[in-house]
Amino acid sequence: MADRNEILGAAQGAFNADPAASMAAVAEAAGISRATLHRHFDSREALLVELGTRSLDQWAGRLDEVDAEALAASGDAPAIRAALETLVLGYVDDADGFGFALTDHVILANADLEERTQVLADREAVLFAAAQRVGVLRPDLPPRWFGHAIYGLLVSGREAVRIGDVARRDVGRLVLSSLLTGIAQPQNQDSTP
Amino acid sequence: MADRNEILGAAQGAFNADPAASMAAVAEAAGISRATLHRHFDSREALLVELGTRSLDQWAGRLDEVDAEALAASGDAPAIRAALETLVLGYVDDADGFGFALTDHVILANADLEERTQVLADREAVLFAAAQRVGVLRPDLPPRWFGHAIYGLLVSGREAVRIGDVARRDVGRLVLSSLLTGIAQPQNQDSTP
């Protein structure tokens, strides 16, 4: 008998492999009947919303781990820089499990999840604004942009791994390095071959 | 009587507003009956695949406009740098119309569209590799990564505009600047306030 956690884990795997996976496909992946699946989750939407909630729990956990609010108040530039790196690498790890949720239209359209997303984005924005004040992040970008840039590069990383263009072990470094320093060769280096 | 082009335009608007829009919602947006819509498109999938095809036509058109292959062969660093900026700003403009297609699961799962996406990604990768050789793009990143990074930041830009965090007129500059130089304050500048 699969318990709720096992079903959610199997569903997560099924949606990562095929974001359009049906309830029948999820039941098969979990090794249970459709009737059993429906006893746990009324609908595909209910299942997706619970997975979306868990992905937000994980995001909140990452912000708790670095103690985002205390760190923002500290004004400690090296600590803020290190925490941003820790956060982004943590998000890349989480996206390996919850990647489909980044772009799932049911999850993105859910009002409760969107509200909670905004609360977490606000927590992050406080840290980003502090990072700007102490010279860790560029002062010319809007503080609300940083979270979107991170989000987009998580989608990049997940897609690059899915297509097979990038190895899973390399994706954290690629995302972090592209995010922080960009993909252009710095112009102050003489790089013409 | 709406023609096929008008219906596709209305459908694009409907899917951008709500990626889960039903055929009934698309028909309503186009000001036609569901029966008329179904005469043009057998299924929601057929409609999405045609919109996906058009978004790839636009992508191909951008690569043609900068003459990507000739440019890659030229080894002309300033021209390659300028073309990369033109391409990215063009993609941001296109994503304003076709943004939903970036993450639509029906479009992403379609084998024909995926095959054509790979052909276009290959054309781009030739330009990126040339840009690395002439010192425009970082030599330490895999050439196949650049396209993914651009893709992700297009998703960032679209989401930031959708949420209302960034004005439409600013998004091209934000995407391009974050892509090329990153979001971190360069460490060789004294930026501590």
Closest to A170 in 3D by CA, of B145, B47, B53, B191: B145
Average pLDDT over residues B55-71: 96
The more confidently predicted of residues A100 and A68 is A68
Q: Does B171 touch chain A (CB under 8 A)?
A: no
Nearest CB to A138 within list B163, B166, B185: B185
| Domain contains A125 | yes
Asked if residue B1 has pLDDT above 80, the reply is no
A188 falls in which pLDDT band (50, 70, 90)?
very low
pLDDT digits (tens, 9 = 90+) for A91-101: 999 998 888 89
Q: Are residues B37 and B65 in the same domain?
A: no
Residues A55 and A94 in one domain: yes
In a domain, B191, yes or no: no
Average pLDDT over residues B23-41: 95
Residue A2: which domain range? 1-41
Same domain, B65 and B155: yes
- Do B57 and B109 share a domain, yes or no? yes
In which band, very low, low, confident or very high, does the pLDDT at A193 lie, cut at 50, 70 and 90?
A: very low
Total domains, chain B: 2
Mean pLDDT of B91-118: 90
Domain check: are B73 and B17 in the same one? no
Same domain as B103, residue B19: no
Residue B188 clears pLDDT 50, i.e. is over it: no
Q: Which residue in the set A136, A159, A185 is minimally distant from B184, CB to CB?
A: A136
Taking CB atoms and an 8 Å cutoff, what residues of chain A touch B165?
A: 142, 144-145, 148
Q: Is residue B188 assigned to a domain? A: no
Residue A100 lies in a domain: yes
Q: What is the mean pLDDT of residues A21-25?
A: 95
pLDDT of A191 reads 44
| A120-128 mean pLDDT | 95
CB spacing of B19 vs A133 below 8 angstroms: no
CB spacing of A148 vs B160 below 8 angstroms: yes
Residue A2 has pLDDT above 80, yes or no: no
Judge if B5 and B73 occupy the same domain.
Answer: no
In this predicted structure, the answer to whether residue A187 has a pLDDT above a threshold of 80 is no
A25 & A70 share domain: no
Domain harbouring A23, CATH code: 1.10.10
- CA A188 to chain centroid, in Å, comes to 33
- Partner residue opposite A184 with nearest CB, options B138, B155, B157: B138
Claim to verify: residue A161 and residue A92 sit in the same structural domain: yes
Minimum-distance CB partner of A159 among B135, B151, B184: B151
| Chain A residues inside the 8 Å CB shell of B77 | 192
Percent of chain A with pLDDT over 70: 96
Q: Do A182 and B185 touch (CB under 8 A)?
A: no
In terms of CA atoms, which chain A residue is nearest residue B187?
A136
**Is B5 exposed, middle or buried (CB count within 10 Å of its CB: 0-12, 13-18, 19+)?**
exposed
Residue matched to tokens 């130089």 = B181
Same-domain status, A82 and A114: yes
Q: What percent of chain B has pLDDT over 90?
A: 83
Least confident of A152-161, B34-43, B91-100: B91-100
The tokens describing A58, both together, are 């994980």
Q: Which residue of B has its CA nearest to A109?
A: B18
Q: Is residue B124 part of a domain?
A: yes
Task: Mutation target for B interface from A120, A124, A140, A145: give the one with most B CBs within 10 A.
Answer: A145
H runs (alpha helix) in chain A: 4-17, 23-30, 34-40, 44-65, 68-74, 77-103, 105-109, 111-133, 143-163, 168-181
Q: Helix A44-65 to helix A111-133 angle, to the nearest 10 degrees?
A: 20
Residues of B in contact with A151 (CB under 8 A): 155-156, 159
Residues of chain B found within 8 Å of residue A104, distances taken between Cβ atoms? 105
pLDDT value of residue A1: 55
Q: From the list A165, A177, A183, which residue is nearest B179 (CB)?
A: A183
The radius of gyration of chain A from alpha carbons, rounded to an integer in Å, stands at 19
Same structural domain for residues A107 and A54?
yes
What CATH code is carried by the domain that includes residue A77?
1.10.357
Count of CA atoms in the C-beta half-sphere (13 A) of A11:
29
The whole-number pLDDT of residue B19 equals 86
At residue A13, does pLDDT exceed 60?
Answer: yes
If asked whether residues B31 and B98 sit together in one domain, one would say: no
B186 is a domain residue:
no
Q: Is B167 on the interface with A (CB under 8 A)?
A: no
Q: Quick check: B146 pLDDT over 80?
A: yes
In angstroms, the CA B70 to CA B67 distance is 6
pLDDT (tens digit per residue) in A158-179 = 999 988 999 999 999 999 999 9
Question: Nearest 5°: phi and psi at B132?
Answer: -70, -45
